[in-house]
Amino acid sequence: MDKSVIIIRAIKYATATLAIEGRVLDEDAQDLIKRQMKGELTEQEFLNAALRRVME
């Protein structure tokens, strides 16, 4: 299976799971996750970016 298909499915799953809880995964968060899954960000870069988003 193509990696891009796996990423899309993972994002859809996460979005649906959060929706059940009444939460939303916005476009910026989705892009951040996609970048990490594609290997564009290290785990530490991803965690730092996610923490910055929470602290805003």
Distance, CA of 30 to CA of 47 (rounded, Å): 14
Q: How many CA atoms lie within 13 A of 19 on its CB side?
A: 7
Q: What angle do CA 51, 22, 24 make, to 5 degrees?
A: 45
**Are 42 and 25 spatial neighbours (Cβ–Cβ below 8 Å)?**
no
pLDDT digits (tens, 9 = 90+) for 4-51: 999 999 999 999 999 999 999 999 999 999 999 999 999 999 999 999
Q: How many CA atoms lie within 13 A of 8 on its CB side?
A: 5
- pTM value? 0.81
